[in-house]
Chain A
Amino acid sequence: MIEYNNYSDIELIDEIIKGDNSAFRYIIARYEGQIARVVKGMLGECAEAEDIGQETFIRFYKSINKFRNESQLGTYLTRIAINLSLNELKKRKKKQKIFSSDENKILKISSKEVNNDINEMVTIALQSLDVKYRSVIVMRMLQGYDTKETAQILKIPVGTVLSRLSRAQDKLRILLKDFL
């Protein structure tokens, strides 16, 4: 098997198009963490998150010939992942399985059941945010995109990103006050 460690994304894509699936494994390894942050940030720790993560890479594989290298591969994959996550959240909402957004209830859970586990607390805090705020937090805080990139990925104006970010931070400040 060829070692592709030093290959750029576009070189790896060329190899995949030629039919070498082992090059695809390198793409997955390179962006798995990034996609996990998006999907798990949006959906929380659940079985669907893993499925959406896989689906993100499979969608990319299916449309690999359409990738024009106009945006960075990480951004391209993030866009697929965020869209799939938003679709999943819509499905959840339809099935009325969405988590409650009652902050008081969540704070109660945090003090009694979470036992100061930062991982669980962050998950609960993120899930308690409205989807529109959560997506901005995931893009800006977890992925590290700037305001303009976040606006482009989420297809919303820059001003909206800023206002949503500010409101989301206010909410998180309340939810995570024990850890601040």
Chain B
Amino acid sequence: MDEKINKIIKQKDYSFSPYFADKIIDKVNELNNKRFVFSDLFISLPLLLKRVYLLGFAAIIILLLVAYFLQGDFLSTYFGLENVSTDDLIAYTIYNF
């Protein structure tokens, strides 16, 4: 190894700007915040869906009970059927197509 060249090359000052570490820490914090948002979403999404599903199911039960108490039957409400005459049903089918 050429000592003189080595000495000259090493004489040069190699350094980054004064706030080098701060800039990296800022970027790392930004990265962690993004990670937090994503992980938070993935954790809360099933919980949110569970609540929606439970509320929806409860609403259906209530509607069926109301229909049952008002009409004495909830199946026709559930299937969307009414007591209609055959003529009305045919007319409804023809005129709606």
Contacts and interface: CB of A to CB of B under 8 A. Distances in A.
Interface in A127-180: 137, 140-142, 165, 169, 172-173, 176, 179-180
A36 interface: yes
A21 B4 CA distance: 42
The dominant DSSP class at the B interface is helix
Interface in A38-88: 40-41, 49-50, 53-54, 57-58, 61-62
Contacts, number: 81
B31 interface: yes
Nearest to A16: B28
Given A32-B16, A58-B31, A141-B6, A122 B11 contact: yes
A154 to B, nearest CB: 17
B17 interface: yes
B25 A25 contact: yes
B51 to A, nearest CB: 30
B28 A32 contact: no
A63 B95 CA distance: 68
B10 A54 contact: no
B88 interface: no
Contacts of B28: 21, 24, 58, 61
A171 B16 CA distance: 27
Contacts of B6: 141
Interface in B1-55: 1-2, 4-6, 8-17, 20-21, 23-25, 27-29, 31-32
A50 B11 CA distance: 20
A119 B1 CA distance: 21
A176 B7 CA distance: 12
A21 B16 CA distance: 20
Interface in A1-26: 21, 24-25
24 contacts: A25-B25, A28-B20, A28-B25, A29-B21, A32-B21, A37-B14, A53-B16, A54-B20, A57-B24, A119-B11, A119-B13, A122-B8, A141-B5, A141-B6, A142-B10, A142-B14, A169-B1, A169-B5, A172-B2, A172-B5, A172-B9, A176-B8, A180-B4, A180-B5
Interface of B: 1-2, 4-6, 8-17, 20-21, 23-25, 27-29, 31-32
Closest 3 pairs between A and B when the two form their complex, measured CB to CB: A122-B12, A37-B14, A28-B21
